[in-house]
Structure 1
């Protein structure tokens, strides 16, 4: 019989959690681009790159909220962007 203890180990759970966090980050980045696209806001290559390479879920959450109200894609990064209420 195979030893399946790895699949219930703390290391295994940590690996799964990292995968889930990465998936959430990728999903939020995609959602930001979808919102900006739906609002017909152009996204420069550098801006798209910054969004898609970010792995901080909370940063992406803030950008997602801002993407609904900004006039340009670059404004999602600025301090002067509308508040995240």
Structure 2
């Protein structure tokens, strides 16, 4: 396989000590222990802990990290941050519509769409403050 262009062959040894044989073209075989990491520059973005080849929980952790990164997230915390940001925006939009309704102000379809599409928390906060004291929709937007 190496002669055909494969760059790395990892042989996971399940009998005896947990280890992986690493074969590369024009280099002697290396043996990595369960505490080492496998790397494949230009192929894998992240090193793979050898332990992930033996431990289901570690394998799931590594897989999740790689799937998240494929979708543009560095880690699970980045997903959570985005969720909190989106939740905060949605709460502001809902509050703005509630304040407008409580004050008897009804924005037209274009203004309603502008509110729903806004992703700037400072702008939404400005509109919220104005809506709290506005006599007409034009005073807010």
* Structure-2-length-normalised TM-score: 0.48
Tell me the CA shift for residue 75 of structure 1. Answer: 2.1
- The structure richer in strand per residue is 2
Correspondence for 1:63 among 112, 127, 131: 127
Q: Larger C-alpha radius of gyration, 1 or 2?
A: 2
The residue aligned with 2:60 is: 3
Contact kept in structure 2, 1:47 and 1:73, CA below 8 Å: no
TM-score by structure 1 length? Answer: 0.76
Asked whether 1:45 is paired with 2:109, we answer yes
Task: Give the one of 118, 129, 139 matched to 1:54.
Answer: 118
C-alpha RMSD of matched pairs (Å):
1.8
CA contact (8 A) 1:66 1:76 kept: yes
More helix by share: 1
Question: In 1, distance between residues paired with 2:119 and 2:98?
Answer: 18
Q: How many matched pairs?
A: 75
- Superposed CA offset, 1:21-63 (max 9, x none): 1111111011000001011112111111111110111111111
> Stretches of 4+ moved more than 4 A in 1?
none
Q: Is there any run of 5+ residues in structure 1 with no aligned partner, and where?
A: 78-85
